[in-house]
Chains A and B, each alone.
Chain A
């Protein structure tokens, strides 16, 4: 594995692609501008391996502000309503996905809370968990490149 991590050996792209599909993770491509060895001109894009071709040219609706800022979930009916009123069709698909993602996380976190703190306490924590699940769903949906492998800026100079 190490020889691939260090770039001494090149991996096979189709193997990487198959691997990413199985693992349901994203592959990242570096697009170098012509003659652009310059770090600042480097662009990184990430797309889910499973729909690499289909989504390559499409703008990312998840990046739209309305979708990201007003995460609907069970605990936020008012926000949900506002969202429905202002959304385009594309947004609605994405918001529904985000909604489902938040609800799935909420259920998972509630189950963990019940095991850890008991069913009654878990239920008491439901509003707080719902809020956190909404944030977690938003974090999950936000698209990131690999950047420059940022650490957590301990002792970091800028």
Chain B
């Protein structure tokens, strides 16, 4: 049976466009059809940029026909979380405070995907300002469950084959957790690797651009075209951009450090069983897996992130909050208000703990390709009132380390489960190679059982 173009991954679609076996317009139309059929219930999108996407698809299709290829994503559609500025179309961050706000420029990440030939298909729902008040989005695997958050729409759109690639963000666990809950790949590179210029901040020190796609190769391509120093972002790292796929496929199986203590007491037995099964399969295929202990500074990292994060969120919002406090939803308002109350020396101490943890982790990770642990403590919770527990993802965000989530199976309730790999700072080539290796051993999940397939 012929697959619908909407089922293609980014790399498959880009290759098909280069070989003229599918046109960008066919691809866009196939995704729009899918959105029309499904998004009434899933609600991943807050804005579908139908006309512009079709117009650009025609333009890129004409270029491809003449042999002009702008970049690795020529003709490939993507979506962006509604925190990313997009010129001419609204960026509202899921909030009444920004109702009707349209920016005059594209976020650097959006601009770079466009330069690589990408087609912005629309904007996806986020929790309000990436804080905790949930988006309306449902989990494509089961509409009664949360897709996770804050990048709720990005994960759901990719999982439901309404887009092959999504821009997301992560400050705690906002890219990897929704990706895990929705059965897709979520990847957050090192702090500073991808510019945050034009991305509405949640904090100054822990925000990251993230990517959600259906396989590791796709998030690697997305990183390749978006990475690199950007003078417009003061936190952008002035480091070389290597070939992120240079180590794929790996010359020899990866070496993993396995974490089985600390926050593991909070994990659902099914999650631990899935991790056990996954590590057994990985080691049977040649991976070396050694138990490791997290450094002492781990014991204070959640507290440090809580303190530093709330203070910075309060500072980020202080101007808007002074004018529109009553328009904020309850959890956002609460997070902002309590952030104003922290004594300054404890904020600074929290920052030093984060720095300590980062340096301890980099040292600990030295002998390994990556740390391996579950992405989340449980599958997607059954409700839409919260977006799940961030504890398993947030320490690595706090330390600015790259992390990636790949699906590893389904729970007894047929919800996706995932493993998480964490690498040292700026170790993306080896982290992505290890993830691709795991993906090849663990296989892919089938798509979610959605009835509305066209």
Tell me the A residues contacting B by CB distance below 8 Å.
63, 65, 68-69, 71, 105, 108-109, 112-113, 116-117, 121, 125, 128-129, 131-132, 134-136, 138-140, 142, 144, 147, 150-158
Known pairs A65-B262, A129-B341; list 9 more (Cβ under 8 Å): A109-B341, A134-B303, A135-B303, A135-B306, A144-B353, A147-B355, A155-B237, A155-B238, A158-B362
Shortest C-beta distance, B148 to chain A (Å), equals 21
Shortest C-beta distance, A99 to chain B (Å), equals 14
Q: B400 and A109: CB pair below 8 A?
A: no
The residue on A at minimum CB distance from B297 is: A142
Q: B236 and A129: CB pair below 8 A?
A: no
The interface residues of chain B lying within 8 Å CB-to-CB of A63 are 296, 299
The interface residues of chain B lying within 8 Å CB-to-CB of A139 are 300, 303-304, 307, 346, 349-350, 353
Q: B303 and A136: CB pair below 8 A?
A: yes
The residue on B at minimum CB distance from A147 is: B356
The residue on B at minimum CB distance from A113 is: B341
Q: For the complex, is B319 an interface residue (Cβ under 8 Å from A)?
A: no
**Contact pattern, B 304-336, Cβ under 8 Å of A = 1, otherwise 0:** 101100100000000000000000000000110
Q: B300 and A138: CB pair below 8 A?
A: yes
Cβ-closest 5 pairs across A and B: A138-B303, A150-B355, A135-B303, A135-B306, A142-B300
The residue on B at minimum CB distance from A69 is: B299
The residue on A at minimum CB distance from B229 is: A155
Q: B341 and A132: CB pair below 8 A?
A: yes
Q: For the complex, is B352 an interface residue (Cβ under 8 Å from A)?
A: yes
Q: For the complex, is B426 an interface residue (Cβ under 8 Å from A)?
A: yes
**Given A139-B349, A139-B350: A65 touches B205 (CB 8 Å cut-off):** no
Q: A144 and B341: CB pair below 8 A?
A: no
Q: 10 A-B contacts, Cβ less than 8 Å apart?
A: A65-B299, A109-B342, A113-B337, A125-B337, A128-B335, A134-B303, A142-B297, A152-B355, A155-B236, A157-B239
- Of A152, A154, A156, the residue contacting B351 (CB under 8 A) is A152
Shortest C-beta distance, B426 to chain A (Å), equals 6
Q: For the complex, is B338 an interface residue (Cβ under 8 Å from A)?
A: yes
The residue on B at minimum CB distance from A154 is: B235
Of A63, A150, A153, the most chain B CB neighbours within 10 A belong to A153
The residue on B at minimum CB distance from A151 is: B355
The interface residues of chain A lying within 8 Å CB-to-CB of B304 are 135, 139, 142
Q: A150 and B338: CB pair below 8 A?
A: no
CA separation between A132 and B335, bound complex, in Å? 10
Q: A116 and B340: CB pair below 8 A?
A: yes
The residue on B at minimum CB distance from A144 is: B352
CA separation between A156 and B237, bound complex, in Å? 6
**Given A153-B358, A158-B424, A158-B425: A136 touches B400 (CB 8 Å cut-off):** no
CA separation between A128 and B450, bound complex, in Å? 39
The interface residues of chain B lying within 8 Å CB-to-CB of A128 are 334-335, 337-338
Of A113, A136, A147, the most chain B CB neighbours within 10 A belong to A136
Q: A152 and B239: CB pair below 8 A?
A: no
Q: For the complex, is B191 an interface residue (Cβ under 8 Å from A)?
A: yes
The interface residues of chain B lying within 8 Å CB-to-CB of A112 are 340-341
The residue on A at minimum CB distance from B239 is: A157
- Of B234, B237, B307, B400, the residue contacting A132 (CB under 8 A) is B307
The interface residues of chain A lying within 8 Å CB-to-CB of B350 are 139
The residue on A at minimum CB distance from B238 is: A155
CA separation between A156 and B304, bound complex, in Å? 20
The interface residues of chain A lying within 8 Å CB-to-CB of B191 are 153
CA separation between A144 and B425, bound complex, in Å? 21
The interface residues of chain A lying within 8 Å CB-to-CB of B296 are 63
Shortest C-beta distance, B255 to chain A (Å), equals 19
Shortest C-beta distance, A38 to chain B (Å), equals 15
The interface residues of chain A lying within 8 Å CB-to-CB of B237 are 155-157
Q: For the complex, is B70 an interface residue (Cβ under 8 Å from A)?
A: no
CA separation between A142 and B353, bound complex, in Å? 8
CA separation between A68 and B296, bound complex, in Å? 10
CA separation between A156 and B355, bound complex, in Å? 12
